Amino acid sequence: MSCSDPVPPPAQGGVTHRFSVPTPRPPDTNCPAQSYAMAIGGPKAPPANGPGNDVVIDEENGATVSCTVRKSGGGFAVSGSLQQLDKFFSISGTFADTGDGAVSVGGDVFAYVNAPQTECKVTVHKAQSGAIWADYNCPVTDPKSPESYCVASGTFVFENCSE
């Protein structure tokens, strides 16, 4: 980058997250966090088609956003984290150009079920170098309490990321 190059826009992103009881529910299980929902910004699942996704911008209003989305082989590699006040969300992994893959999702949201990080299935709505918009869905169990079983799901978006 030379002195005359424009400053790139800051990273931005958002996540909506919720826990729910799986359908069908396995016998003798419960979801202690089933009423928990969290948002940083407010990205929407389709048919929002991009416009209207609310995001937080790095270093504005108490937000910290860090992300990398780059082409990798036949797909993309993604790594991102969002923090605003006491809320934290992170994601990392790879997915195919077809738009599906598995990623690790973590953050304070999983403290409610005593699982700091979990593997999730991702369905990508749009991805390109430097940006991603996708849904995630993951089974979550508490290793200390086998009867605890929830589904964590949500939508996330990262933009203006490193490539």
What pLDDT score does 49 carry? 47
Contact between 111 and 38 under an 8 Å Cβ cutoff? The reply is no
Contact between 125 and 131 under an 8 Å Cβ cutoff? The reply is no
Residue boundaries of the structural domains of the chain: 12-159
**Which residues of the chain register pLDDT less than 70?**
1-2, 44-53, 99, 108-117, 143
For tokens 């605003």, name the residue: 84
What pLDDT score does 117 carry? 61
What pLDDT score does 9 carry? 93
How far is residue 94's CA from residue 115's CA, in Å, rounded to a whole number? 21
Cα separations in angstroms, 59 against 13, 56, 65, 82, 156: 12, 9, 8, 11, 19
Tokens describing residue 69: 């989305």
Contact between 30 and 6 under an 8 Å Cβ cutoff? The reply is no
Contact between 163 and 145 under an 8 Å Cβ cutoff? The reply is no
